[in-house]
Chains A and B, each alone.
Chain A
């Protein structure tokens, strides 16, 4: 009994012994044959190392590709350190070898074909790296050169992979490799799986594949169908991306134009300095940010934006009230002259800001919760700052609707908009309503400036960029009506962004301007004009 057990143990031991060296042996023979003079042998060795999945091969292949691999006496394969030619290590054991004269070694020569193989093998090997990000990068990289070898490697990698994101990336590369090199069934299955993908590389891979001659008709049909489906998805994504861009631009226009629409509606006054109120708001954001940086611990820097919004509202609003009290009320009833006077004010404000802050652009950085973005459907990124601005814009709009419809001040404002004389006769202090309306409109412009500072640079002529566009929103949407401003701004934003890829940014804008001029033919008072007697003046 005992001898039998001993024999079995001995056998097991022997098996284990032979198995272990066999594994090590494989690696050793492959590395040794890298030193062969025959290119075919070298190629086999490189591919072998690639499929073996042994991380020790990475520095060896790297050295080979960098021309740092040498053969010494006894066919020993040696690696020369990249920055120190006297330091030599054994490629198999990884131990340093001393007492070898560098010039006695023979260089292992590679050609371009081998370099390609090395790159593929290295890409495959990093699939087994312990570092998750390296694996993910390797899995994505494998998409670039799909081949028969990579199928084996990817298959091996996917079985051991636990991270779901890496797994998905490997799976995608595996499908791509199978399309190129698999059997007909594998090809069909892989194509069907890739048809839902919108990665531009997949699309070009499929395009290339469908164009290869002598393709099995069934496979070709599947590939063509997949390409059509990918194109359709890409088109859909394009539309959604345009829509998002358009809504984003529309929300910015809306923020810029709301204040203008209110003051124009209530007072019949065109405030050309409105753009400068936006600019002032952006500079408030800049100043608040600098104050936070200078006086508060770095941990609360993200909060500067929360503080900047009300500060900008109050500051710009105060400027608006001052402007109304000191200038505009004296020009009541002379709308064209008000336009010119406020234009003068806008020039003075621009130059004043330029004197204080200098003309170079100032940078306002996004708080950390507004940086970056996410990809909802593969192919375009929704950035947080734009998304927050859209949300912010609707919050402002909602708040304004509440003020207009639920407060006494709002009621008075609407009354003055509809019939100033009658409102005054009913005891509304119109002068006070005018000043507060102007302050409210300017305050909203200030908040718009804070929002704009989040998506671009802050400069003294920030306001002039938006002023003509905001006027067009008001003209298009009609006056004294929030709904009109909302529809006007979103329409202009979306039309602008949809036209941009078709006609180019500049020509698209020209088209929009011409369209508005023609639109005024049909509805001279805008989309949502006030109706009845009060609209006659």
Chain B
């Protein structure tokens, strides 16, 4: 008679998990580059050059979706500003890439990026210093969204803002950032954002080889992010999070610090989102304020919801499936995309609340008793 909780915890890191994890990693990290590099372009299974950054983009979105699933699926925090952390990380990366342009810009100024020359800046704003070093930029990619989330989360969780109130406040947060980043006075390129990158760590960002490298980095990043999220959710903290998702007051009465637990996981999630943004920017070649638009953050929630929230792997699947559909539909039937997206929101909440992953699990084991994967929200 073993304790079921401990059995599950052991099973979480068992050989079955590792086999699936490594299998998926190999498929993404070896098969795709192989099909790109060594298969003749005329072959039916070849991966053309333009597909590689597109796949990289989807995987960045998958990391973003993971970060939301961590807080929404496991702690019941529906943050509708997740894309804001993503964009903050992206801007930090963009600033590094802008400094790498150096004197090769249109204005040929070795220090100031082109847009600053056009806006008649005399010197670099203080927060741009240090971004010519990759190490500093990498630190900022993690620190800026992290510290921002820490302060914001502390303010919100301390005063016990939760449920839909928190969702609205995070929406207001991303709305405020959206407005602020549109201003030229921010010193971050205003409406046009940061673009025209030349190279990253000395490699040309436009060459197929660098793009493949960035793609591989994204695959590794996704794997790492997944392992971190899985570690957190299977740990003791993860169980506290599940408990406070389902009955926050009870957890508080039992003596746990709900504020600290939420704050920790919220900050971690923001750091992951910022990391995803940093991988995203060199692959798409631009970062601008539209990434902050309130609708973007809500869209992330639908990726998670379609895949199945509270499952981690569902977030990854949902992000990839929905974005594949988006790429295909906006090309083939541009007018229908919003109908489909809107329909997905309705259908996935109304008819398939457990998402794709929940559907598969149901097919495998038709018993509806799955307390850890089916979040029961507290009645707000």
Contact = CB atoms under 8 A, between A and B. Distances in A.
A201 interface: no
Contact of A335 (B158, B163, B343): B163
Interface in A322-341: 327, 330-331, 333-341
Contacts of B175: 468, 513
Contacts of A340: 298, 301-302, 305, 345, 348-349
A351 to B, nearest CB: 4
B305 A524 contact: no
B172 A472 contact: yes
A336 to B, nearest CB: 5
Interface in B328-377: 335, 338-339, 341-346, 348-350, 353, 377
A521 B159 CA distance: 5
Interface in A341-357: 341, 343-352, 354-355
Contacts of B180: 506-507, 510
Nearest to B298: A343
B379 A327 contact: no
A307 interface: no
Nearest to A273: B342
A335 B171 CA distance: 16
Given A327-B350, A336-B377, A270 B172 contact: no
A271 B74 CA distance: 24
B28 interface: no
B182 interface: yes
A268 interface: yes
Contacts, number: 136
B353 A475 contact: no
B22 to A, nearest CB: 34
A471 B183 contact: no
Contact of A524 (B161, B167, B302): B161
Contacts of A354: 335
Given A341-B349, A471-B172, A351 B338 contact: yes
Nearest to A513: B176
A34 to B, nearest CB: 54
A520 B339 contact: no
Interface in A420-446: none
Contact of A506 (B72, B164, B168, B179): B179
B161 A348 contact: no
B78 A339 contact: yes
A352 B339 CA distance: 8
A334 B168 CA distance: 16
Dominant secondary structure at the B interface:
helix
Contacts of B176: 509-510, 513-514
A411 interface: no
Interface in B184-208: none
B318 interface: no
Contacts of B152: 517
A402 interface: no
A516 B176 CA distance: 11
A347 B338 contact: yes
Given A331-B349, A341-B346, A524 B335 contact: no
B350 A341 contact: yes
Interface in A250-288: 264, 268, 270, 272
B121 interface: no
B173 A471 contact: no
Interface residues of B, number: 47
Given A351-B339, A506-B180, A517-B172, A345 B379 contact: no
Contact of A507 (B76, B183, B335): B183
A327 B346 contact: yes
B169 interface: yes
B294 interface: yes
A327 B152 CA distance: 33
A291 interface: no
B13 interface: no
Contacts of A475: 165, 168-169
Nearest to A525: B165
A337 to B, nearest CB: 4
Most B CB contacts (10 A, CB to CB) among A268, A331, A333, A506 go to A506
A354 B346 CA distance: 20
A19 interface: no
Contacts of B379: 268, 333, 335, 537
B26 interface: no
B380 A471 contact: no
A344 B340 CA distance: 9
B155 interface: yes
A527 to B, nearest CB: 14
A12 B362 CA distance: 123
A66 to B, nearest CB: 45
Contact of A336 (B167, B171, B179, B302): B167
B252 interface: no
A348 B344 CA distance: 10
Interface of B: 72, 76, 78, 152, 155-156, 158-161, 163-165, 167-169, 171-173, 175-176, 179-180, 182-183, 294-295, 298, 301-302, 305, 335, 338-339, 341-346, 348-350, 353, 377, 379-380
Interface of A: 264, 268, 270, 272, 327, 330-331, 333-341, 343-352, 354-355, 464, 468, 471-472, 475, 506-507, 509-510, 513-514, 516-518, 520-522, 524, 537
Given A337-B349, A514-B176, 4 more contacts: A340-B305, A348-B342, A475-B165, A513-B175
16 contacts: A272-B298, A337-B377, A341-B349, A344-B345, A347-B338, A347-B345, A348-B339, A352-B339, A355-B335, A513-B172, A513-B176, A517-B169, A518-B155, A520-B159, A537-B379, A537-B380
Q: Name the 6 nearest CB pairs between A and B, nearest first.
A: A344-B345, A347-B342, A348-B342, A351-B338, A513-B176, A335-B380
